């Protein structure tokens, strides 16, 4: 099947729709003076105290806009409170971005990296700000996207994931990004361990799901590629004039691994129009719009463009749903134990319950 992609032309002065930060949430304030002092030591052209604003996205790591008189930067740091071991490694994320930038032009440029907890209480990094539109739960009505435009936007976003997976990571000098072989085994084992350690008494144990993943994991990876591990619409910055991808954000979990695992992660967030009411209620991106591909269509398009053989996608689907449940549970654990005050996290436990049911339905559908 051949797909034709035409760049949509928005019918509005889309600069009005640029992703903008708001007030810093209570309990997540930054010490602007400490940030300024650190950055001045890294870049003498920066003067004065930046205005600090906080981006609304991010249920895990925290992202702030640092507004200087003639320059805008973005600071990312891990969450306050208890953190799962190995999670929220901002220093590693910055190093991955620095290494990947020459091979993948959508990575924002790193300005400074700080591994000294004494500055802000946690490691952080600062990058150049990439202005643009970020689509979260709903597309602004002003964009007036019809079915054809939504489809073209959808395909262009998927194409950037395919482009990432096609990077010659050896030729690009990126072999150090991860272990590669054995990725599937490590992920199933690792996320199972993380879920068990983060479990609270009001969520299911997922033991049946974890057992199924162990029993049905592929013998080897379909390929080894650079993978993002959290690729979705709200981690993509769109050019306001053309709605093409200008930047890709949130590289914390990027590594070398199986690209089908990465696709499974992406589709765990992919709510489509005919999903049940609960899943539609969990939607965080506008993949339900008329013209957007369904999950099955995404898999078919991806397989055609990459040439990867995807005889059965059920394992990757269940893995993506389970991994999402583990991520939400790690966040919910902090809320459950009073380690964060963000009330958005209060419903995450119910989402975890639903995701177990979704895993079991996918398993049942795959059972001969």
Per-residue pLDDT tens for 247-295? 999 999 999 999 999 999 999 999 999 999 999 999 999 999 999 999 9
Residue 146 CA to residue 16 CA, distance in Å, equals: 20
Q: What percent of the chain has pLDDT over 90?
A: 72
Q: Decide whether 20-128 matches 141-366 in CATH topology.
A: no
Read off the pLDDT band of 3 (50, 70, 90).
Answer: very low
Q: Which of 75-84, 149-158, 169-178 has the lowest mean pLDDT?
A: 75-84
Q: Does residue 77 have a pLDDT over 60?
A: yes
pLDDT of residue 209: 98
Q: Does residue 199 have a pLDDT over 90?
A: yes
Give residue limits of the domains in the chain.
Answer: 20-128, 141-366
Q: Does residue 343 have a pLDDT over 90?
A: no
Residue 193 CA to residue 216 CA, distance in Å, equals: 18
DSSP class of residue 320 equals: H
Query: pLDDT (tens digit, 9 = 90+) per residue, 25-49?
Result: 888 888 999 999 999 998 888 888 9
Query: pLDDT (tens digit, 9 = 90+) per residue, 309-341?
Result: 888 899 999 999 999 999 999 999 988 998 877
pLDDT of residue 59: 56
pLDDT of residue 82: 47
Query: pLDDT (tens digit, 9 = 90+) per residue, 78-95?
Result: 877 545 444 458 999 999
Residues 48-66, mean pLDDT to the nearest whole number: 84
Residues 135-164, mean pLDDT to the nearest whole number: 92
Mean pLDDT estimate for the chain? 89
Q: Does residue 303 have a pLDDT over 70?
A: yes
Count CA atoms within 13 Å of residue 263 on its CB side. Answer: 29
Read off the pLDDT band of 298 (50, 70, 90).
Answer: very high
Cβ atoms of 366 and 212 within 8 Å: the answer is no
Q: Does residue 7 have a pLDDT over 70?
A: no
Read off the pLDDT band of 15 (50, 70, 90).
Answer: low
pLDDT of residue 57: 65
pLDDT of residue 182: 95
pLDDT of residue 88: 56
* Helix (H/G/I), strand (E/B), else coil: 87: coil
Q: Give the other-Cβ count within 10 Å of 82's Cβ.
A: 12
pLDDT higher at 341 or 98: 98
Q: Is residue 238 exposed (0-12), middle (13-18) or buried (19+ Cβ within 10 Å)?
A: buried
State the CATH class of domain 141-366.
Answer: alpha beta
Residues 190-213, mean pLDDT to the nearest whole number: 97
Question: Domain 20-128: which topology?
Answer: Phosphorylase Kinase; domain 1 (3.30.200)
Cβ atoms of 304 and 296 within 8 Å: the answer is no
> Of 106, 223, 230, 236, which Cα lies nearest the Cα of 165?
223
Residues 181-204, mean pLDDT to the nearest whole number: 96
Residues in the chain: 368
pLDDT of residue 140: 86
Cβ atoms of 126 and 74 within 8 Å: the answer is yes
Q: What percent of the chain has pLDDT over 70?
A: 92
Q: Give the Å distances, CA to CA, from 4 to 1, 148, 149, 153.
A: 10, 11, 12, 11
Distance of alpha carbon 119 from the chain centroid: 27
Q: Does residue 5 have a pLDDT over 50?
A: no
Q: pTM for this structure?
A: 0.88
β-pair partners for 127:
74, 110
pLDDT of residue 4: 38
The C-alpha R_g of the chain, in whole angstroms, comes to 20
Q: Is residue 169 exposed (0-12), middle (13-18) or buried (19+ Cβ within 10 Å)?
A: buried
Q: Which of 46-60, 295-309, 334-348 has the lowest mean pLDDT?
A: 46-60
Backbone angles phi, psi at 164, to 5 degrees: -60, -45
pLDDT higher at 14 or 257: 257
Residue 99 CA to residue 305 CA, distance in Å, equals: 26
Q: Which of 10-24, 212-226, 240-254, 325-339 has the lowest mean pLDDT?
A: 10-24
Residues 100-107, mean pLDDT to the nearest whole number: 96
β-pair partners for 75:
64, 126
Cβ atoms of 113 and 100 within 8 Å: the answer is no
Residues 59-66, mean pLDDT to the nearest whole number: 84
Residue 76 CA to residue 352 CA, distance in Å, equals: 26
């Amino acid at each position: 099947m051949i797909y034709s992609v035409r760049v949509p032309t928005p019918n509005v002065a889309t600069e009005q729709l640029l992703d903008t930060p708001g007030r810093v949430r209570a309990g997540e304030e930054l010490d602007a003076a400490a940030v300024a002092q650190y950055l001045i030591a890294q870049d003498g052209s920066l003067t004065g105290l930046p205005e600090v604003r906080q981006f609304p996205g991010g249920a895990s790591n925290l992202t702030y806009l640092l507004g200087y008189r003639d320059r805008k930067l973005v600071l990312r740091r891990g969450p306050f409170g208890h953190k799962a071991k190995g999670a929220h490694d901002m220093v590693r994320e910055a190093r991955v971005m620095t290494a990947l930038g020459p091979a993948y032009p959508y990575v924002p440029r790193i300005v400074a990296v700080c591994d000294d907890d004494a500055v802000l209480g946690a490691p952080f990094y600062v990058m150049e700000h990439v202005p643009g539109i970020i689509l979260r739960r709903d597309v602004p009505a002003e964009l007036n996207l019809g079915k054809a435009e939504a489809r073209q936007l959808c395909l262009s976003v998927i194409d950037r994931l395919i482009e990432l997976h096609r990077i010659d990571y050896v030729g690009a000098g990126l072999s150090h990004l991860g272990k590669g072989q054995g990725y599937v085994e490590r992920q199933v084992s690792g996320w199972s361990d993380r879920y068990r350690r983060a479990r609270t008494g009001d969520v299911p144990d997922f033991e049946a799901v974890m057992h199924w993943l162990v029993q049905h994991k592929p013998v080897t990876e379909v390929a080894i590629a650079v993978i993002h591990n959290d690729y979705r619409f709200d981690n993509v910055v769109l050019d306001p004039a053309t709605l093409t991808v200008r930047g890709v954000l949130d590289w914390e979990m990027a590594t070398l691994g199986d690209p089908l695992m990465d696709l499974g992660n992406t589709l765990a967030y992919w709510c489509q129009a005919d999903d049940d009411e609960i899943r539609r209620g969990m939607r965080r991106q506008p993949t339900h719009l008329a013209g957007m591909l369904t999950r099955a269509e995404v898999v078919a398009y991806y397989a055609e463009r990459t040439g990867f053989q995807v005889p059965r996608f059920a394992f990757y689907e269940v893995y993506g749903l389970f991994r999402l449940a583990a991520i939400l549970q790690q966040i919910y654990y902090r809320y459950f134990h009073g380690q964060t005050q963000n009330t958005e996290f209060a419903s995450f436990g119910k989402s975890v319950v639903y995701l177990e049911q979704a895993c079991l339905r996918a398993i049942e559908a795959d059972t001969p």
